[in-house]
Each structure stands twice: as C-alpha cells, then as structure tokens.
Structure 1
Amino acid sequence: MNVIRSALFALIFYGWTVIAVLLSFPISLFGTGAIRGWAHAWCRFHRVLARGLLGISSQVEGAPPEGVALVAVKHQSMFETMEMVLLLDTPAVVLKRELADVPLWGWVVRRYGVIPVDRSGGAAALRRMMRAAEAAVAEGRPILIFPEGARAPVGTAPPLQPGFAGLYRALGLAIAPVAVNSGRLWPARRFVKRPGVVTFRFGETIAPGLKRGEVETAVRAAINALEPEALSAA
C-alpha cells in the first residue's frame, strides 16, 4: 500500500508542480509578493497531499524565530524543505546554484528570492552569495539554511559545510537551530514513504559572535537533538 501511495503522490505532486511553474510566469507580472504567495500555495499543496495521501503530518516543538535570523535545519528529506517555508515568514532559502539554474524552475526560485551557493566558484561566488543574503536581511526575511549540505541518512551527523560559519560571522545574526526526524518516514534517495508524524524541534537561540568551533559545535548538537546516537558516535 505504501508503494501505491508513494507512486500516486509523485504523479500528482510533480504533475502539478510542472503546471505551477508554468503558471508562475503570468503570476510574476503582479510582482514579487504574488510569486511568493504562489510559492507558499505550492508548499501548502505539498503539505495537504503528504498528509492526505501519504499519511505524513508534522508537529512543532518550541517556537519559530520572530524576525530576521539564520535558521539552521537538519536535512533528511524533501519534506522539511517545504514545511520550513510555511513555518517561517517568507524565508530566503540557501540552495545549490545548480537548482537555481534549472530551466524555468530556476527563474521562478530566483524571483521568489533565494540565495544560490556555488561551492566551486571561489571568492567571486562567495561575494554573490553574501550580497543575496544581505538583501534578504534588508527585507527583514529569515535565512533558511541546511548546514550539512546534502540530505543525511537517519543515524548520521555529518560535519557542517564550511560556508555556514562564514555566513554566520558575516551577517552577525543569531541562529535558530531546528532538529528534524523526517528520514524515518521519508528516507533519503528512496521512493517509498510511510505514514507517521515528523517532529520539528526548535532549539535555544545561539547568539551571534561565537568563534567558528563554538558555533559549529552548538549548531551540530542542536540540529541532531533527535539523533543522539549519531552525535555521540561522530
């Protein structure tokens, strides 16, 4: 049954996503607010479909930050990338440049206002990332980042990407860490999902101005709070 549900989910969600991307072009004529509202509607559709078809819902522990912050989230599946957009106030999402360069789709996400990261682009790429991040902060938007980079399988606690500490230091923002356990139901790089409840645990705010080693240790512990065995073994 989970195989059938997962197949139906993929067919409906990705089929609608193609239509949503095409519709975003005329919608964008009404301004940035319209395209952001349309993106949020797409995320809400994902939430409803995941709950109604896959039986996957979410619960939130703690409180999302108010105003501008660097929101660092554990990354185990696509599920949290969609849910976090709804839990925050129009976040600027840090994502791989390759995703922002996908034809049509890339144009839409850039209009929404993301922060593309080119990990092989050197100093010039870093400056472009910082300009995009500073523009988001000037708008009063939180910055959503998955500091581990790629999706991490359940039971693992990989090191944080080196650019995370640099972004933290340059922006001077407090960090709101978020632990997630979506991988139990929505395993990385696997097609079949199973029903259940995903927990989003907002940890204590981490103050700006810490040294790299201190902030990485604090963030890594907080985002892996639902993976204690992995953290102790790392």
Structure 2
Amino acid sequence: MIVIRSILFALAFYPGSLIFVLWAMAFGWVTPLMVQNTATNWSRFHRWCVRRLLGQRIVVEGDLPIGPYLYIAKHESMFETIDILCLFDRPAIGAKRELFDIPLWGGIARRYGLIPIERAAGASALRTLRAAAKDRIAQGRAICLFPEGTRVPHGESPPLKAGFAGLYSLLGLPVVPIAIDSGRVSPRGKFLKRPGTITYKVGEIVPVGLDRKEAEARVHAAINALN
C-alpha cells in the first residue's frame, strides 16, 4: 500500500503542479496577488494529496500567533516548504538564491515575493535579506525561514546558519519557533512516503532584545523539540 499510495501521489501532485505553474505564468503578469493566490491554492491541493492519497494527518500543537513575528521552522522534507502556505496568509519564505535561476519557476518565485538568500555573500546578503523582509512585513505578510539551510534527516539537529542571529538583531522582531517532524513519514530524497501524522509544534515566543547566542540556543532547542 505504501508503494501504491506513493505512486498515486506522484501521478496526481506533479502533473497537477504543472497546471498551477502554467496558470501562474499565464496570468501572473496581471498582479502579484494573482500569483500569491495561485500558490495558496497549490498548497491546498498539495495538502489534499497528502491527506487523501498518502494517508498523512496534519496536526498543529500549540497556538500559532499571527502578527509581526519572525517564524523559524525545522526543515526535514519538501512537505513543509509547500504546506506552510496553508498556515499563513501569503507568507514570504526565504529560499536559496539559486532556485530563482530555474527557468519559469524563478520568475514566478520573484512575482510571488519569495525572499532570495545568498548564502556566500556575507554582510551584503544580510542587508539585502533585511530590506526584503521589511518590505514584506510592510505588506502585512509573515516572514518564514528555515535556518538550517537545507533539509535535515529526522532526528538530526545541526546548528543554525549564522544569518539567523544577524537577522534576529536587525529586524527587531520576536521569533516564533516551529518544530516539524515531516521527515518521519516523508523522508528527504525518498520516493516512498508513509501514512502517519505530521506534527507542527509551536514553541515559546523568543522575545526581542536577547543576546544573540541565547536567542539562537532557544530557537535551536524549540525547532528540534520533536526529535
């Protein structure tokens, strides 16, 4: 059944995603809101596929505050990069700069308002990231980052990338850490996905003004709470 479910998911989700991409390309020039609404509907379609075809249940533990926060999430699977659009209204998500160079997808990502992250550019990249984040906040959008930099196998807890602490200080926003255990049922780089429960666990808010090391330690512990 796991094999059958995974095949059905692939046959439904990937061709369906192409339709959403083509729609965004065809009508995204009208307004960025068109692209953002298309992305939200794509995320809802993904969640339907996850629930109905893979048999995965999604649970949120704790209250997810909505407002001017910096949302920092664990990254174990492709799942959360798509599903997070179901948690927030048009969230501005940090993404690797090289993803913006992908033909077709890159243009849609820019139109949507994703935030490019240049990992090797140092302080200049941090300033660019800060400016982009402030712009999205002014639009009333949530800022969501995956500070580990890449998908991490379930159970592992690598240190956060250095840019998190700098952005925490520069933006002056309280942080909402979110643990996710998606890698248990949809492991990184694996075709087969198992039925089960994917949990978002909302951690205690990290207030503004803490020492960088303390803020980083609190966030690191909170996003790894489901390990």
Q: TM-score range by the shorter chain?
A: over 0.9
Which runs of 5 or more residues in structure 1 are unaligned? 228-234
Measured in 2, the distance between the counterparts of 1:158 and 1:225 equals 13
Compute the displacement of 1:8 (Å). 2.3
Contact 2:57-2:198 within 8 A present in 1 as well: yes
Aligned to 1:25: 25
How many Å apart are 1:148 and its aligned residue?
A: 1.0
Q: Which amino acid aligns with 1:53?
A: L
Give the match's secondary structure for 1:173: coil
Equivalent in the alignment of 1:40: 40
Measure the CA separation in 1 of the matches of 2:116 and 2:7: 30
Alpha-carbon distance, 1:124 to partner: 3.4
CA distance in 1, matches of 2:57, 2:124: 41
TM-score (norm 1): 0.93
**1:64 and 2:72 aligned:** no
1:208 corresponds to which residue?
A: 208
Q: Does 1:7 align with 2:7?
A: yes
Q: Which moved more, 1:62-71 or 1:47-56?
A: 62-71
Matches within 5 A, 1:1-234: 1-227=1-227
- Which shifted more, 156-165 or 21-30? 21-30
Moved more, 26-35 or 158-167: 26-35
Give structure 2 stretches of 5+ with no counterpart.
Answer: none
Question: How many residue pairs align between the two structures?
Answer: 227
- Aligned equivalents of 2:18, 2:197: Cα separation in 1: 28
Contact 1:64–1:88 (CA under 8 A) maintained in structure 2: no
Amino acid at match of 1:52: R
3-state SS in 1 of match to 2:136: helix
Partner of 1:232: none
Deviation at 1:63, TM superposition (A): 1.6
Contact 2:126 2:166 in 1 (8 A): no
Normalised to the residue count of structure 2, the TM-score between the two structures is: 0.95
Shift of the alpha carbon at 1:106? 0.9
Report the Cα distance in structure 1 between the residues aligned to 2:213 and 2:125, rounded to whole angstroms.
Answer: 24
How far, CA to CA, are the matches of 1:101 and 1:209 in structure 2? 36
Paired letter, 1:44: R
Q: Supply the distance in 1 between the matched residues of 2:44 and 2:84 (Cα, whole angstroms).
A: 11
1:40 deviation in Å?
0.2
Seq. identity, %:
50
Separation in structure 2 between the aligned mates of residue 120 and residue 68 of structure 1, nearest angstrom: 28
User: Partners in 2 of 1:64 and 1:225 — Cα distance?
Assistant: 16
Give the deviation of 1:89 after TM superposition.
2.1
Q: What is the aligned-residue RMSD (CA, Å)?
A: 1.3
Q: Distance in 2 between matches of 1:190 and 1:12?
A: 17
Which one-letter code corresponds to 1:148 in the other structure? E
Tell me which residue corresponds to 1:231: none
| AA of the residue aligned to 1:194 | R
- CA contact under 8 A between 2:63 and 2:202: conserved in structure 1? yes
Structure 1 residue 48: deviation in Å? 0.2
